[in-house]
Amino acid sequence: MAADLAELPVEPDLLKKPKLSGFYSSDRAQKHYDNDSSDDEMTSDDWEKYAAQVEASDGFDVDEIRTNTIGLIHPIGYLSEMGPAVVAAVSFLSRTAMDWYNSQNGSNYVFDKLVKANIEVVAGGIYYITYEAKDAGAALATTFQARVFKGIPEMDGTPNVEVELCRIKPY
């Protein structure tokens, strides 16, 4: 007869939430992850504000929300809030989007710097990235927005990246 799971001995440390590490290990992310209170629930006003921000900005300008719900758009942060691994990964996606934009529009913009990014966690992530790029010979940078899906890598290790949208910021 199988033992009841509730009766099995469990090491006390296994009951604790692990510390976040790697890609999302900022203090802000850890504080949000550690929050087990009912404050993690969104009110109807929160939902209305979130929906209005997503609709108005196509997901590029969304405030931090009080929920861990997968499938909603959450800020990764501004450049100053991101760790080096996050900056490198999101910059790669920005460059990929810039290459796609140039091929679609016959232009020659070059990625200059990352401004901010949001993520929608799905089977991978949809990144909503705001960055600056310069056209060859231009002194001033142009602000771009890119929506890029980064999925689970293919079986052979090939990255699964698809640019869904790349545009000059409309507002």
Sheet holding 73-78, edge to edge: 73-78, 109-122, 124-135, 142-151, 160-168
More confident residue, 159 or 131: 131
Average confidence score pLDDT of the chain: 80
* Predicted model pTM: 0.73
The pLDDT assigned to 40 comes to 60
120 within 8 A of 126, measured Cβ to Cβ = yes
Each residue of 40-72: pLDDT tens digit? Answer: 677 888 889 999 999 999 999 998 887 777 789
The pLDDT assigned to 132 comes to 96
List the one residue out of 115, 123, 106 whose CA is nearest residue 146. 115
Domains for the chain: give ranges and CATH numbers: 77-168 (3.10.450.10)
20-34, 60-74, 127-141, range with the lowest pLDDT: 20-34
Please give the sequence-ordered ranges of beta strands (E in DSSP) within the chain, or none if there are none.
Answer: 73-78, 109-122, 124-135, 142-151, 160-168
Name the residue with tokens 């869904």: 164
Name the residue with tokens 């929160």: 46
Whether residue 16 has pLDDT greater than 80: no
The pLDDT assigned to 27 comes to 53
Q: Three-state SS for 169?
A: coil
